[in-house]
Structure 1
Amino acid sequence: MPIDRAVRSTTLAVRLGAVVLSGALLAACGGSSDGATTDAAGGDVTITVDLFGSFGYKEAGLYAEYEKLHPGVTIKQTDTEDEADYWKSLQTRLAGGGGLADVQGVEVGRIASVTQQQADKFEDLKKYGADGLKGQFAEAKWAAATGKNGEVLGLGTDVGPEAMCYRKDLFAKAGLPTDREALAKEWGDWDGYLELGKRYKAKAPAKSAWLDSVGSLYSIMIGQEQERYYDASGKLIWEENPALRAAWDHSVKAAADGLSAKLDQWSPQWNQAFSAGSFATMPCPAWMLGYIKGQAGETGKGKWDVAALPGGAGNWGGSYLAVPKAAQHKKEAYELIKWLTAPEQQARLFEKQGNFPSSTGAIEKVATATDPYFSNAPIGKIFGDAAKAAPVQVLGVHDQNIAQQITNALSEVERKGTAPEKAWENARKGVANTLG
């Protein structure tokens, strides 16, 4: 789903609008193959769900539908806006063994920590039959939540195939092409994207920058790489990784050329900027569509569009639903997450919220989806093609922590004028302190 939400921070707001899907998909999303049953004990049960940001289940009506299908079941959700705060709290509760929900969300940048260090804290979902679901999910999504001994420690929600969101009206005012296919050719690589940004800056409307922040540029670029912070053997490689340094250098160049609005992602100022036209482009994974709708509101409808990403496909974000061993209603929790992550529900969530499915069946169902808010962009094809071409990323235990230190350092460059090499050294120290 829903942020590397901290790389994506996965702070999603209540979203407005819906994509347009084929009649066959709408019919498929209208019901469920799951029968109406009560919990195993035959009585009422409250299933607690603890998430970060908004996974969209409540907004899409999925909780209400599940409760209707399962008389006696009530779903109670709590959530924390910032994923980093959520994860810190979850670690405290896992260590103490108390205060845990029946279902806990896990961001993709944290899943390696669960599989490599905390497998004893979560249920192996195979005991409830999860091994029979493997064929429903993209191979990489399934493998990332598989423990060293073959445990299934979570079921995948969404993935974050990447594209570029842009404001057609602002492009037109600056004399730039507005056609999504023409733009995809113009910015075939990241150098082309930055060059087009210079052209935009020369004739840009007042108080409008080319992109929101260099942190978002870094995050989207590093999402195009298979190896980022660790290699396949588990070795920490981020400092010597040329792909990471290239993402850093492009981000620093964007700051030096004055192409950024200097807005920290997820800040109140960043949220307000969506409706103010403060930036013309925004590297966006699929889940960001709903966030844009929520922040820009109805006045933004038809002004935004979506084009293919410079430099090829990538992935930014996605999440899992897991059941802690300390959960009170383990079987019922598993039945809920099995239903929520089934192809029909994943397709419906894409229809309502824009979260791109990790279920292979659901990906096929949304292939023809368009979005009227984004100028009828063929988002099913754009994000579907990106999902198919995105590399299978190597995930490490501290991916999120390292990424946060780097984006913090880039914020120093664009907002405080810190010299790039000094900021890089600050990132190195921050990572060292974080990893201990």
Structure 2
Amino acid sequence: MGSLGSLRTKAVATAAAVGALSLVVGCSSGDDSVTGGGKKDGKVVITMGLFGVMGIEETGLIEQYEKENPGVDVQAEIAGDEQTYYTALQTRLAAGNGLKDIQGIEIGRAKEIVDTQSDKFADFSDMAGTEHFLPWKESQISTADGKVLGLGTDIGPMAVCYRKDYFGQAGLPTDREEVGKLWEGDWEKYVEVGRTFKKDFKGDDVAYMDSSSGLFNAMVYGYPEQYYNEKGELIYDKNPAVKEAWNLAADAAEDDLTAKLRQFQPGWDPGLANGTFATAVCPAWMLSHISEKAGDANKGKWDVAKAPKGANWGGTFLGVIEKSPVQEEAKKLVAWLTAPEQQAHIFKELGNIPSSKTALESDEVKSVTSEYFSNAPIGQIFGDAAQEIPDKQVLGRKDGTIKDTFSQGLALIEQGTSPDEAWDTTAERIEKAVG
């Protein structure tokens, strides 16, 4: 069986180091009036703008591509923070220069790119060998007239990461199969388990879950529509799925089941290191972050169980800029990087689950386990979860902004604001941000 190895630690450290540089110099090196690479010293130079830990450079894929294509020089810059990266990308798209040949696109930005920047990106719709993606993944980056603005890298099927030592101290099952059955089919059961945990836990002060916003995201992304309908109209205030998720997340917050730590915000990483919470709703791509920040001291204490319901949270694309002087070469590189074999390689090394249906169904992916997470069969767990994601995934222009605003609103409840007042504040902020 394959297992996620120590490369994860190296990858996160590499991304952090390169990211620190990228945030200083922005998304483009050299002359900001120039877009992309070009031909230099007899080689094709392809530039890439990436963010986070996408696994493209960290797992050696760029080095492999250059070895197999000696006439190509790939230069990647990685920003650690996606929000800063996207702000810079928007500025450069508006100016029409300073762009990389290949730009990463986070799922929460995809609809805005499709609706407002489609003329800035090359079309992949007629490219051979790209028929292996999950159908809903390609639809997220496609225009109404059929133009495909990029190819998918990973997706974010859900599971629940849990501390089995803490579950044992609360008298709960610790086996991942039994734990999954505790909340099977219903997120309310997940919260109810939290009430039992809080009542029966024997030990120091440990919260059941890290944040109410993690629960909220897992619930809303289990439906085809969240904040917008297919017409592009805002429906967050009318969508029963959003209200259901808000109410249950608010209940968890009011019942003091959370550590009041928003994921990827200050305090969350120390919370992982210090073991201040017992569960976290975790998309596949989050496992590398948890293992890095929780550290060796907590290796084998974490495990992964099936989530109550299927959902997709996160995922990225690689697009090629229309004005790229090496557009065809860049498209070829993107197709290679997102091919089933390369997606499977990234998953084995880092845990980013493939958006390629072919890769998901391969033994290479299904057999992967995670030594850090108690040898959990993550290839099987997340592969099965990917099959439960709704076939339709309706995105809106400001999905990422709205998601962040809801997370802030739930944080207000964790700090003592009433759910009704927090909802009103959230609605006002959303209208201001997207109106």
- CA pair 268-403 structure 1, distance change in 2 beyond 3 A: closer
Equivalent residues in 2 for 1:98-177 (5 A)?
A: 98-126=97-125, 129-130=126-127, 132-177=128-173
Asked if the contact 2:211/2:258 (under 8 Å) is kept, the reply is yes
Taking structure 2 as the reference length, the TM-score comes to: 0.87
Higher mean C-alpha displacement, 298-307 vs 345-354: 298-307
Deviation at 1:85, TM superposition (A): 2.0
The structure showing larger relative contact order (alpha-carbon pairs under 8 Å, at least 6 residues apart) is 1
Amino acid at match of 2:402: I
Amino acid at match of 1:313: G
Q: Deviations over 1:184-242 (max 9, x none)?
A: 12112222111211121122531311111111111111111111111223222110111
Secondary structure in structure 2 of the residue aligned to 1:159: strand
Secondary structure in structure 1 of the residue aligned to 2:157: strand
Asked if the contact 1:122/1:322 (under 8 Å) is kept, the reply is yes
Q: Deviations over 1:332-369 (max 9, x none)?
A: 21121111100000000000010000111111121232
Asked if the contact 1:210/1:280 (under 8 Å) is kept, the reply is yes
Deviation at 1:42, TM superposition (A): 8.8
Structure 2 counterpart of 1:235: 233
Amino acid at match of 1:394: V
Give, in whole Å, the separation in 2 of the partners of 1:320 and 1:376. Answer: 29
Amino acid at match of 2:108: G
Q: Deviations over 1:74-133 (max 9, x none)?
A: 22222222222222211111000111111111111211112222111111134xx52x23
Q: Does 1:337 align with 2:315?
A: no
Deviation at 1:13, TM superposition (A): 9.0
Root-mean-square deviation (CA, aligned residues, Å) is 1.9
Asked if the contact 1:103/1:333 (under 8 Å) is kept, the reply is yes
Amino acid at match of 1:242: P
Asked if the contact 1:15/1:353 (under 8 Å) is kept, the reply is no
Q: Following TM superposition, where does structure 1 have runs of at least 4 consecutive aligned residues deviating by more than 4 angstroms?
A: 39-42
Secondary structure in structure 2 of the residue aligned to 1:253: helix
Give, in whole Å, the separation in 2 of the partners of 1:99 and 1:166. Answer: 44
Higher mean C-alpha displacement, 86-95 vs 153-162: 86-95
Secondary structure in structure 1 of the residue aligned to 2:237: helix
Q: Equivalent pairs: percent with the same residue?
A: 45
Q: Does 1:178 align with 2:174?
A: yes
Aligned length: 398
Unaligned runs of 5+ in 2: 1-8, 14-37
Q: Deviations over 1:124-145 (max 9, x none)?
A: 134xx52x23421111111222
Unaligned runs of 5+ in 1: 1-11, 17-38
Asked if the contact 1:13/1:291 (under 8 Å) is kept, the reply is no
Structure 1 counterpart of 2:304: 306
Amino acid at match of 1:167: R
Match of 2:355 among 349, 355, 358: 358
Equivalent residues in 2 for 1:202-221 (5 A)?
A: 202=199, 203-221=201-219
Q: Does 1:196 align with 2:193?
A: yes
Asked if the contact 1:13/1:54 (under 8 Å) is kept, the reply is no
Amino acid at match of 1:141: K
Deviation at 1:178, TM superposition (A): 0.5
Give, in whole Å, the separation in 2 of the partners of 1:251 and 1:49. Answer: 38
